[in-house]
Amino acid sequence: MKLTVLVDNNTLIDRYLLGEPGVSYLIQEEGQNILFDVGYSDAFIRNGNSMNMDMNNLDSVVISHGHMDHTWGLFYLIKYFTEARIEGIEYKKPDLLSHPWSFLPKTVEDEEIGTIITEDTLARYFNMKLSKEPVWLTEKLVFLGEIERNNDFENKKPIGNIHINGDMTEDYLLDDSAMAYKSKEGLIIITGCSHAGICNIMEYARKVCKDDRIADVVGGFHLLDPEEEVLNNTCDYIKSNNVKLLHACHCTDLKSKIELSKSCTIKEVGAGMILEYD
């Protein structure tokens, strides 16, 4: 599997690419081109163009959850597809895979923090595949669906509200999901923001993939000025489960990275970075 970071808060020092507070990765596995999240703007497309990556040849787009820093780029992807049609450029209609609640309205004090494109509009440009259950995209790569939440220290506070069938309720981000790849060295876990809890995600990935080894975790850990209990328990989980490597990025602050580095090897991440796994 090859994973290219199209968007992150940071960029690599030696690559003249755009950064923004969002996430987007291009995953290439078994001949499949899979776009994981689309960031906040068209930065993922512009960075992809700089790296000679064709967004007209996507097999799947996977959305980790419905927040704007992971979904607003869908507007620009639809624009990209539309322009390709007008110019007579062939484009493949990709699958759009996510939790069924990812495209419901999400608000904080009446301000929209969720997707700005309706599910009906998305269905014109994508084959909609919304699932709470795990979905295998290849023999070794899986979308985890709705993450089981079994520990007592993660995801205890809602973020705004979600609007379901006209009713508004506190949003605990049940739509937050991730992906996992079964490498020879163990699981490679790919996250967006980890609102479900990075430890919950790792534990559920181990269950779904039937492999207790975690070789690497790439993505946001939702550790921004975390409570001491959360950070300490996260570090303890990582250490006790012999996690080999972390590529913590996006919504992971410096303090958290420093503490995580005491439990596991941690690497920098930035737009333009390429990771490969057997």
User: From CA 7, how far away is CA 42, in angstroms rounded?
Assistant: 10
CA 52, 54, 55, 58 torsion: positive or negative? negative
pLDDT of residue 144: 98
- Is the model's pLDDT at 13 over the cut of 90? no
Spatial distance between the Cα atoms of 147 and 47, rounded to a whole number of angstroms:
31
Q: Mean per-residue pLDDT for 65-80?
A: 97
**Tally of CA atoms within 13 A in the half-sphere of 73 that contains its CB:** 29
CATH of 2-153+161-276, one of 3.90.1820.10, 1.20.1560.10, 3.60.15.10, 3.10.129.10: 3.60.15.10
Q: What pLDDT shows up at residue 91?
A: 82
Q: Which residues is 66 bridged to in the sheet?
A: none
Which two tokens mark 162?
Answer: 């979600």
Q: Is 166's pLDDT higher than 90?
A: no
48, pLDDT greater than 80: yes
Mean pLDDT of 24-45: 97
* pLDDT at res. 92: 87
For residue 271, list its beta bridge partners.
11
Q: Rounded distance, CA 179 to CA 64, Å?
A: 8
Integer Cα distance of 200 and 139 in angstroms:
23
Give φ, ψ of 169 to 5 degrees.
-140, 160
Strand partners, 136: 142
Under 8 Å CB-to-CB from 255, ≥6 apart: which residues? 225, 231
pLDDT at 214: 98
| Range scoring the smallest mean pLDDT among 50-54, 141-145, 254-258 | 50-54
Please, what's the b/e burial string for 110-122 (b: 16 or more CB within 10 A of its CB; e: otherwise)? eeebbbeeeeeeb
**Whole-prediction pTM value?**
0.96
pLDDT at res. 130 = 98
Q: What is the mean pLDDT of the chain?
A: 96
Q: Among 43-47, 51-55, 149-153, 225-229, where is mean pLDDT lowest?
A: 51-55
Can you tell me the distance from the alpha carbon of 128 to that of 135, in angstroms, rounded to the nearest whole number? 13
Domain boundaries, the chain: 2-153+161-276
pLDDT in tens, 98-133: 999 999 999 999 899 999 999 999 999 999 999 999
Half-sphere exposure of 168 (CA within 13 A, CB side): 9
The answer to whether residues 65 and 193 touch, using CB atoms and an 8 Å cutoff, is: yes
For residue 73, the model assigns a pLDDT of 98
SS3 sequence, 160-187?
CEEEECCEEEECCCCCCCEEEEEECCEE
Handedness of CA 203, 234, 245, 172 (dihedral sign): positive
Tokens (6 digits) for 9? 């808060």
* pLDDT for the residue 54: 87
Looking at residue 244, what is its pLDDT?
Answer: 97
Mean pLDDT of 30-49: 97
pLDDT, mean of residues 231-243 = 98
Interval 225-253 mean pLDDT: 97
Average pLDDT over residues 126-142: 98
Per DSSP, 110 falls in state: T
% of the chain exceeding 70 in pLDDT? 100
- Does residue 90 carry a pLDDT above 90? no
Q: Crossing angle of helices 43-50/73-86, nearest 10°?
A: 60
Report percent pLDDT > 90 for the chain: 95
At 15 the pLDDT is 77
